[in-house]
Amino acid sequence: MFGNIEITKFISDMLAPAVMLSACGLFLLGLQNKYSNIINRIRELNEEKRELKLIDELNKFQQRRLKSVEKQVVGLLRRARLDKNSILSLYAAMIFFMLSSLSIALKDLGWVLRNEVLSLILFLIGTAFVFIGTVFAYLEVRISYRVVELEVGEE
């Protein structure tokens, strides 16, 4: 079935993309949990903002709280956008790692490809998307503390 190829070589050739898929999966698990928490917090703050805006005359505390909520929502939206970009980048990376693995399999089986350049290019594109996703995650973590400072600073 496999012609002249060695089964162990075939498996080891496909291992690097599979390891990267697992790494992306773990990274995505944490990011999607954080993204979900941020979205839920935005919804809670928007509800609080709507309730405050229903009050005819806000006292000083309510006015400060409304301003704080509005600032927090802006910061949380930035964080959510960065997390979304990170998640999408990692999904793109996973697609390229799967394509890389598939191209390695097709090459090793001798069905379509005759050289390894396509596999390498696909793997490198996947790695670039992991890098981009990591940069977005880094930027999100950098601004996350500012939103907490806004909430704590209002007290």
At 114 the pLDDT is 67
Question: Which portions of the chain are predicted below pLDDT 50?
Answer: 1
Whether the model pTM is above 0.85: no
Specify the residue for token string 């090459």: 107
Question: Cβ of 85: how many Cβ atoms within 10 Å?
Answer: 17
At 148 the pLDDT is 79
101/104 Cα distance (integer angstroms): 5
At 107 the pLDDT is 79
* Percentage of the chain exceeding pLDDT 70: 88
At 1 the pLDDT is 46
113/13 Cα distance (integer angstroms): 14
Q: Do the Cβ atoms of 123 and 17 come closer than 8 Å?
A: yes
At 145 the pLDDT is 85
At 5 the pLDDT is 58
Question: Cβ of 145: how many Cβ atoms within 10 Å?
Answer: 10
At 58 the pLDDT is 86
Q: Do the Cβ atoms of 27 and 91 come closer than 8 Å?
A: no
